Amino acid sequence: MTIDCRSNQLLKMSWQTGLIKTILDPANLIISTDIAVVIADKYPKARHHYLVLPKEDIGSIFQLNRTHLPLLEELHLLARNIIEVRGECFESFQIGFHAQPSMQRLHLHVISKDFVSDWLKTKKHWNSFNTSLFIPYEALYENLSKDDQIQRLPKARVEELLSKPLACNQCEFVAKNIPSLKEHLLQHQLCSYSKKRFEMSNSTESAKNKLMQRAKIEKPLIETDQAVVIKDAYPKAQYHFIVVSKEDIPSVCALTRDKLPLLDHMKELANQIIEQQQYVAPSNFLIGFKIDAFMNGLNMHVISNDFYSKCMRRVKHWNSFNTELFLTYQAVYAAISFQGSIEPMAAEKADKLLNALPLHCNQCDFKTDILLGLKGHLFEHWEKREHKLQINQEVEKIIRMLDDAKLTTLPKAALTPNRQSL
């Protein structure tokens, strides 16, 4: 009996320290920074289940105090990033800590609300995420800010929460057991899939004519009988315009040699809109086409290479402009001139490029797997450029003031030397 007890204790200790062993193996890391890492939960309780752990040796939430608030902010930033990297909706996730952590090493759970998983096997699994035993990040952050520590729940309260009825987290259904709950949750998931598919179908159909509808409704920045120039509704940079052809051409892959004059015309409109941006050099713009364009209808992007925008929210947003998915005007013109057309890209390759990591800066050798890290880096480039621009504007202002004052034509008295100074 004594040997069995010791054996069980050793097994329990080994299991409790499993997270520490996991993060020591680089192969398990999805995202890694100087401060923290993101790993996949070894026994996921939902379709998406990740853990964000600090590199600092912190045993649990009960060792936290106010000095750890910046660390918590970093963990939450990585939580948002992993959701973004996976192309999921932030509102579909729970982010928080267990009030009764079962494993050593502080870890933040990032888990999708579907809870569809073969590893969801017990009432304890469900209630640990769907009662007060799960502390949302915001609640823990607020409590720590106010009290400087996190209090443990009384043992009786923990047992009470673990034994609560299996109430669905999406409706008023209460399950008799775990199998019936899982069957019910699966129905929610199937309904969600159907709804998402329907919405995607409708959005794709509506997107087909959205650009031309906008061009008709809005006042175009430039308009000719062949094309219009409008601002992108969700700009991915400080300056982002779209040149839309009025001719019914599905995409850049539908262009043929007889459309080269149209391409020339669209390029001329692109040059015109760039010239209207007073303080941005033409060399700071990209002009080209997305080979996997979401919007149907030939449209050419005219976008500043700073990519400084709140709408740059996903990895695919960056990759759609900074990989082979973006064809420059020159490349398109040359290909059509010599080959007669643009070959479509295979869907599998396009999807791989959209989600490719690491993300490479378009202005230096910097690279990262974290979109927010790239955006912070790009902001530094943008800030330097803006500072330089501000200096140039000040110099131009002084030159204009000198010209207005006509200081270059001084009075004769000003040109006569002072004898006392000789």
Looking at the annotation, which residues are catalytic?
107
295: its two tokens: 């919007």
How many beta carbons lie within 10 A of that of residue 419, not counting itself?
6
Spell out the residues 6+ positions from residue 282 whose beta carbon is closer than 8 angstroms to its own: 271, 274, 275
How many beta carbons lie within 10 A of that of residue 45, not counting itself?
20
Peptide bond into 417 cis (omega under 30): no
> Minimal CA–CA distance to 312: which of 233, 230, 237?
237
- Alpha-carbon distance of 265 to 311, in angstroms, equals 29
Using CA atoms, how far residue 186 sits from 190, 192, 276, in Å, is 6, 10, 55
106: its two tokens: 């502080």
- Alpha-carbon distance of 50 to 108, in angstroms, equals 8
Spell out the residues 6+ positions from residue 146 whose beta carbon is closer than 8 angstroms to its own: none
Q: Which amino acid is at 338?
A: F
Q: Which amino acid is at 265?
A: H
C-alpha 149, offset from chain centre = 32
- Alpha-carbon distance of 70 to 93, in angstroms, equals 22
Give phi and psi for 155, each to the nearest 5.
-55, -40
> Minimal CA–CA distance to 81: which of 30, 121, 130?
30
Q: Which residues pair with 418 in a beta bridge?
A: none
- Alpha-carbon distance of 360 to 321, in angstroms, equals 12
Using CA atoms, how far residue 337 sits from 26, 245, 325, 331, 343, in Å, is 48, 19, 20, 10, 13
